[in-house]
A and B are shown apart, each in its own frame.
Chain A
Amino acid sequence: MKNAIELLLRFGYHLLFLAMEFLCFYIIINYNREQKGIFLHSANLFSTSIDARVDKVNQYLRLDMENDSLHKQNARLIKKFIDYDLNSSLHDNDTLDVDSSKYQLLAVDICNSNFRLRDNYLTLCAGENLGITPDMGVVSQNGIVGIVKKVSPNFSVVMSILHSQSNISCLIKRNNSNGMLTWEMGNPKIMHLESIPKHKTVLVGDTVITSGYSTIFPKGIQVGKVKTVVLEPGSNSYTIEVELFNDPTAWDALYVIANRLSGEQKRLEAEILQNE
């Protein structure tokens, strides 16, 4: 308090001067038409330039929302693409409506991700509350990402395709030969396609897609392309290296695929197993 008074005593004169000048200019601007005109004009020039700047910053801040909406729109587009693929490959025109909403896509953000370990997991910032349940597939724009293993109300943990236990049923698109996609530690962009019998032909550059044989991924999601094909002596199947289309070291926008009918399919399959 004492300091404040001292400060006021020392600078009070200058403050008084500034206050009086401020008052004078207030009076000048408000009661003199000519000066008022000049002031308003200058203030306009000033304020428009400020406005332009603020607008720029605002636009930048809105990018987040923009991004979000694009993410969601993308989800809708990918879903449409999957539906289209299913409809055109599996059904005739008269049963088009049966599967049109079998798959739902959910745009999600990623919280945490790993690709250097033997068994890699990633965490999504969305959980049960948004309808995510275990065994749902996760894809990005360019390929598959993993399978949801555990969910909490707000988070879910995804077993990455870069995992020793990861086994994803895939096809060579050209001739529908079926194999299992696995990963061996090392390059995160390279995976292996196993158990394609040697009587099939596999060419370098062939596109690998998901098979749709499980309830997790729909058929036809592009995964990668064949990089090398080797037939080991004495082996019955090819050793194929697949180069992924997407980059597991830099996931961006992810989508969880919810299969509406997966419960039904699983129940039916389980019944058969029980009966045997």
Chain B
Amino acid sequence: MNSSVVYANLWRFLLYFLFQIIVCRRVDLSIGTFDYIHLLVYPLPVLMLPMKTPRALTLIIAFVYGMLIDGFYNSPGVHASALVFTAYIKSIILRFLEPFEGYNADDYPTIQKMGLGWFMSFVSLLLLLHCFFYFSVEAFSFVYFFHIFMNTIFSFITSMAVIVLFQLIFRPKY
């Protein structure tokens, strides 16, 4: 049981990592001068770590994973900082969305366990914050606020669609 959860998460990290760097990184979704769409699906494995994962461990995983992504994006630290931020916020959002009876010991943040509504609000909140943080750090100055804002909105919508599709297709248990 326990080891299968670990393996499931490892596979998820690997697959999303590969999908991000092989597919999302190369897909060009710009339409004319409208180039605000960037697929950012790699945060999902961090969000889907089991609820009982130690918070500090989540941060460390997020940092290492983010640095690996950065290695391929050739932007050291940018994705990592956004992902560490998302991992930090995750614990707060989890508390915010906690059901009345609290979480069970065998709860995982999946559609199967928590329901589609819960999963959608959980992932969309975090992904939106992640996108905003990422594009802010990428621009590195709020002078480019319009740029950051547009990037955040359109990247969030497309990435969210891809993530939800994946969830519906693969239906992960853990």
Q: Which residue of A lies closest to B75 (CB)?
A: A32
Task: Please report which residues of chain B, range 31-80, place their CB below 8 angstroms from some CB of chain A when the two chains form the complex.
Answer: 55-56, 59-60, 63, 66, 75-78, 80
Query: Which one of B76, B77, B80, B81 has the highest number of Cβ atoms from chain A below 10 Å of its Cβ?
Result: B77
Beyond A16-B56, A32-B78, whether A24 also contacts B140 by CB under 8 A is no
Let me know if A34 is at the binding interface, CB within 8 A: yes
The residues of A that contact B78 with a CB separation of less than 8 Å are: 24, 28, 32, 35
Let me know if A213 is at the binding interface, CB within 8 A: no
Let me know if A84 is at the binding interface, CB within 8 A: no
Beyond A21-B81, A24-B80, whether A34 also contacts B140 by CB under 8 A is yes
Task: Please report which residues of chain A, range 29-56, place their CB below 8 angstroms from some CB of chain B when the two chains form the complex.
Answer: 30-32, 34-35, 38-39, 42
Q: How far is the CB of B12 from chain A (nearest CB, A)?
A: 22
Let me know if B125 is at the binding interface, CB within 8 A: no
Interface residues on A, range: 20 to 34
The residues of A that contact B137 with a CB separation of less than 8 Å are: 28, 35
Interface residues on B, range: 10 to 19
Chain B binding surface SS class: helix
The residues of A that contact B60 with a CB separation of less than 8 Å are: 16, 20
CA of A34 to CA of B143 in the docked complex: distance in angstroms?
A: 14
Is the CB–CB distance between B85 and A21 below 8 Å? yes
Query: Which one of A23, A28, A38, A42 has the highest number of Cβ atoms from chain B below 10 Å of its Cβ?
Result: A28
Is the CB–CB distance between A24 and B55 below 8 Å? no
Let me know if B88 is at the binding interface, CB within 8 A: yes
CA of A26 to CA of B76 in the docked complex: distance in angstroms?
A: 10
Q: How far is the CB of B77 from chain A (nearest CB, A)?
A: 3
CA of A238 to CA of B120 in the docked complex: distance in angstroms?
A: 107
Q: Which of A13, A17, A31 contacts B77 (CB 8 A)?
A: A31
The residues of B that contact A20 with a CB separation of less than 8 Å are: 59-60, 63, 80-81, 84
Q: Which residue of B lies closest to A42 (CB)?
A: B141
CA of A201 to CA of B133 in the docked complex: distance in angstroms?
A: 93
The residues of B that contact A21 with a CB separation of less than 8 Å are: 81, 84-85
Q: Which residue of A lies closest to B144 (CB)?
A: A38
Let me know if A12 is at the binding interface, CB within 8 A: yes
Is the CB–CB distance between B141 and A38 below 8 Å? yes
Q: How far is the CB of A7 from chain B (nearest CB, A)?
A: 15
Q: Which residue of B lies closest to A34 (CB)?
A: B140
Is the CB–CB distance between A28 and B84 below 8 Å? no
CA of A68 to CA of B113 in the docked complex: distance in angstroms?
A: 80
The residues of A that contact B63 with a CB separation of less than 8 Å are: 20, 23-24
Q: Which residue of A lies closest to B83 (CB)?
A: A24
Is the CB–CB distance between B56 and A32 below 8 Å? no
Q: Which residue of A lies closest to B141 (CB)?
A: A38
Interface contacts beyond A13-B91, A25-B81: sample of 15 additional A-B pairs, CB < 8 Å, sorted by A = A13-B55, A16-B59, A16-B60, A17-B59, A20-B80, A20-B81, A21-B81, A21-B84, A26-B77, A27-B80, A28-B76, A28-B81, A28-B140, A31-B77, A38-B141
Interface residues of B (CB under 8 A from A): 55-56, 59-60, 63, 66, 75-78, 80-81, 84-85, 88, 91, 137, 140-141
Q: What are some 6 contacts across the A-B interface (CB < 8 A)?
A: A13-B59, A20-B84, A24-B63, A28-B75, A28-B140, A30-B76
Interface residues of A (CB under 8 A from B): 12-14, 16-17, 20-21, 23-28, 30-32, 34-35, 38-39, 42
